[in-house]
Structures are given as structure tokens and as C-alpha cells.
Amino acid sequence: MEYDTAVNGIKKHLIQQSHPNQYTYIAELMDITHPSNKHPKMDHLVCFMGGSFILGATEGDNVYDAKVQNSEDVRLGEEITETCYEMYNMTATGLASEIVYFNTDNQTDGPDMDIHSRDRHNLLRPETIESIFLLYRMTGNEKYREWGWKIFESFEKYTRLDEGGYSALRDVTTIPPIRDNRMDTFFLAETLKYLYLLFSPSDFIPLQNYVFNTEAHPLPVFTPKNNL
């Protein structure tokens, strides 16, 4: 399967850990012909992978029903999602920057993550909330709801506009943050939808029967017939 091939390549070449707290992240290859040459950088866009790892392991079932609670993919899904949550938890606003860089030097006592000045903006992206939702559905661990609620409170506090709507931020490391006066449609279609689902009953849009596409639209799972 193409999914298995891609995931195995990620696990073999891209999974790394930071120092000193050993946060798991997915690095970037500088040159695909030299897989040892990695860039310790991860975009917020990559944070959907935490949920993808656990969804691939369970196919939508609870990890205990699927008997995969101790599998490598479930562990990686949990660890990557924790890293993405820490991208929020590390900032003054409680909202993640667009990109973080990781400390790979085990001889230094610096922080695990660093935000460069050009990457301090937040576009109200959904990927971390998506993974938090999937992790909650498939593990039942209440900490994921706590993480999601904390992020939602930060969105409400710093991005909600009195006149209506929400605004992206130019710098998540300063208070008060400067607003960017834009709201991408994915905030409504994905970010808020996954937050809603996180606090909905677990039998609402069951993951055994539905799959969410890249824009968070639920589609029924089907069994291919006659090679279709």
C-alpha cells in the first residue's frame, strides 16, 4: 500500500528527537539523495501526522478494541501530537507559530524548540486540533480534551474580534499580539469543526464508518468492488 510505503519512509528517514526533552518531530530532508542530511525544522502543517499515524494503526477503532495500544505507530502518533501541543504551550499567547526549529545538540541546555522571527505568525491552522481530536477518539484519554480546550481558550482570547470573526496573528510570542486582519476559510471548515467534534459524543460521525478528507469533510468509508 502507498500509505505503508510512505509511513515506513518517514519512520526510517525523518523521525527525530530534540534535546533535552526528547520531543519527537518529523525533520525535512535537505537532499533526497542523501537521507542523512536532515533539517531540524517542522511546519505546523506537519502536525496532522500525529492523527494519521494512529488512524492508520486503528482504522478508526479504539486502540484497545484494535489491540494496537502498544504499537509503534500509536506511540509515534501520541509523541508527535504532544510535540505539536508543546508548540502552542511554549508561546506567550498559547498559540503555535507557523514553523519551529529543534535543538539537536545534546551538549547544550537550551530549549527544545526555537521560533525564528519570520515564522512567528499564526494562521488559525487546524492540523494540531485534528490530531488531538483523533487521539481522543481512539484512546479516550481526557488529556486531549484538556489540550484542545486550552487551545480554544487562546483562540478566543487573542484572535476573536468584537465585530465578528477571528483574525490570524503576526506574532504569537508577544502580548498583546498584532492581528493580521485575515481569516482563512479552513478555520471555519476545519479548526472549529475538529474542536466541535473533540467535545461531541464519540458515536457522532464514528471513525469506523467515516473518513475526513483534507478539508475535514466526512465521507463514508466504502469497500471497493470489481477493482473500483
> For residue range 143-166, what is the model confidence (pLDDT) as tens digits?
999 999 999 999 999 999 999 999
* Residue 157, domain member (yes or no): yes
* Residue 174, domain member (yes or no): yes
* Residue 207, domain member (yes or no): no
Tell me the percentage of the chain whose pLDDT exceeds 90.
Answer: 85
Q: Are strands 38-39 and 41-43 parallel, antiparallel or unpaired?
A: unpaired
Give this prediction's pTM.
Answer: 0.94
* Residue 228, domain member (yes or no): no
* Residue 210, domain member (yes or no): no
Tell me the percentage of the chain whose pLDDT exceeds 70.
Answer: 99
* Residue 133, domain member (yes or no): yes
Contact 134, 188 (CB under 8 A): no
Write down the pLDDT at residue 91: 98
Count of structural domains, the chain: 1
Active site residue 190: no
* Bridge partner residues of 17 (DSSP): 24
Domain that holds residue 154: 2-201
The average pLDDT across 50-73 equals 92
> Considering 78, 82, 86, 98, which one is annotated as catalytic?
98
* Residue 219, domain member (yes or no): no
The average pLDDT across 106-125 equals 93
* Residue 123, domain member (yes or no): yes
Check whether 191 is labelled as a binding-site residue: no
The count of C-alpha atoms lying within 13 angstroms of the C-alpha of 15, restricted to the half-sphere facing its C-beta, is: 18
What CATH number does residue 162 fall under?
1.50.10.10
